[in-house]
Amino acid sequence: MASLDLAGTLKTLQGERARIHQELNKLDRAIAVIRKLAGAEPTPNGHPKKYTMSAAARRNIAKAQKLRWAKFRKEQKAEA
Protein backbone atom coordinates (compact mmCIF):
# COMPACT_ATOMS: atom_id res chain seq x y z
CA MET A 1 0.00 0.00 0.00
CA ALA A 2 2.81 2.39 0.89
CA SER A 3 4.50 1.77 -2.45
CA LEU A 4 1.32 2.86 -4.24
CA ASP A 5 1.26 6.10 -2.27
CA LEU A 6 4.93 6.73 -3.06
CA ALA A 7 4.38 6.02 -6.74
CA GLY A 8 1.46 8.42 -6.86
CA THR A 9 3.39 11.09 -4.99
CA LEU A 10 6.35 10.64 -7.32
CA LYS A 11 4.11 10.94 -10.37
CA THR A 12 2.47 14.08 -8.94
CA LEU A 13 5.85 15.68 -8.19
CA GLN A 14 7.14 14.88 -11.68
CA GLY A 15 4.03 16.44 -13.21
CA GLU A 16 4.48 19.55 -11.04
CA ARG A 17 8.13 19.73 -12.07
CA ALA A 18 7.22 19.57 -15.77
CA ARG A 19 4.58 22.30 -15.34
CA ILE A 20 7.01 24.59 -13.52
CA HIS A 21 9.64 23.94 -16.19
CA GLN A 22 7.15 25.06 -18.88
CA GLU A 23 6.36 28.21 -16.90
CA LEU A 24 10.07 29.00 -16.57
CA ASN A 25 10.48 28.61 -20.33
CA LYS A 26 7.62 31.08 -20.87
CA LEU A 27 9.24 33.55 -18.46
CA ASP A 28 12.60 33.19 -20.22
CA ARG A 29 10.97 33.96 -23.58
CA ALA A 30 9.17 36.99 -22.12
CA ILE A 31 12.41 38.30 -20.60
CA ALA A 32 14.20 37.84 -23.93
CA VAL A 33 11.49 39.82 -25.75
CA ILE A 34 11.61 42.65 -23.22
CA ARG A 35 15.41 42.78 -23.37
CA LYS A 36 15.28 42.93 -27.14
CA LEU A 37 12.72 45.74 -27.07
CA ALA A 38 14.72 47.65 -24.47
CA GLY A 39 17.92 47.24 -26.47
CA ALA A 40 19.61 45.45 -23.61
CA GLU A 41 20.22 42.21 -25.43
CA PRO A 42 23.63 41.04 -24.25
CA THR A 43 26.26 40.09 -26.80
CA PRO A 44 27.74 36.57 -26.75
CA ASN A 45 30.80 37.76 -24.80
CA GLY A 46 28.62 39.46 -22.17
CA HIS A 47 29.74 42.99 -22.97
CA PRO A 48 27.27 45.58 -24.23
CA LYS A 49 27.17 46.31 -27.94
CA LYS A 50 29.51 49.10 -29.03
CA TYR A 51 28.01 51.70 -31.31
CA THR A 52 29.99 53.32 -34.09
CA MET A 53 29.89 57.07 -34.49
CA SER A 54 29.28 58.60 -37.89
CA ALA A 55 31.98 60.63 -39.58
CA ALA A 56 29.82 63.75 -39.37
CA ALA A 57 29.42 63.34 -35.60
CA ARG A 58 33.19 62.89 -35.19
CA ARG A 59 33.77 66.07 -37.22
CA ASN A 60 31.31 68.02 -35.07
CA ILE A 61 32.97 66.81 -31.88
CA ALA A 62 36.44 67.63 -33.20
CA LYS A 63 35.30 71.10 -34.27
CA ALA A 64 33.76 71.79 -30.86
CA GLN A 65 36.91 70.59 -29.09
CA LYS A 66 39.11 72.82 -31.25
CA LEU A 67 36.88 75.79 -30.38
CA ARG A 68 37.17 74.98 -26.66
CA TRP A 69 40.96 74.82 -26.90
CA ALA A 70 41.09 78.05 -28.90
CA LYS A 71 39.01 79.78 -26.22
CA PHE A 72 41.24 78.37 -23.47
CA ARG A 73 44.43 79.54 -25.22
CA LYS A 74 42.93 82.96 -25.83
CA GLU A 75 42.09 83.30 -22.12
CA GLN A 76 45.58 82.12 -21.14
CA LYS A 77 47.14 84.70 -23.47
CA ALA A 78 44.96 87.47 -22.03
CA GLU A 79 46.01 86.61 -18.47
CA ALA A 80 49.72 86.63 -19.31
User: Do 1 and 30 belong together in one domain?
Assistant: yes
Where are the strands (E) in the chain, listed by range?
none
Say how far apart CA 70 and CA 14 lie, in whole Å.
74
Domain range holding 8?
1-49
User: Do 38 and 56 belong together in one domain?
Assistant: no
The answer to which of 5-9, 39-43, 62-66 has the lowest mean pLDDT is 39-43
User: Do 4 and 41 belong together in one domain?
Assistant: yes
Please name the residues in contact with 53: beta carbons below 8 A apart, sequence gap of 6 or more: 61
User: Do 76 and 59 belong together in one domain?
Assistant: yes
Given a cut of 90, is residue 79 above it in pLDDT? no
How many domains does the chain fold into? 2
Whether 35 and 41 have beta carbons less than 8 Å apart is answered as yes
Say how far apart CA 54 and CA 39 lie, in whole Å.
20
User: Do 5 and 32 belong together in one domain?
Assistant: yes
Say how far apart CA 33 and CA 41 lie, in whole Å.
9
User: Do 2 and 41 belong together in one domain?
Assistant: yes
Band the pLDDT of 68: cuts 50, 70, 90: very high
User: Do 33 and 16 belong together in one domain?
Assistant: yes
Question: Residue 2: its pLDDT value, please?
Answer: 59
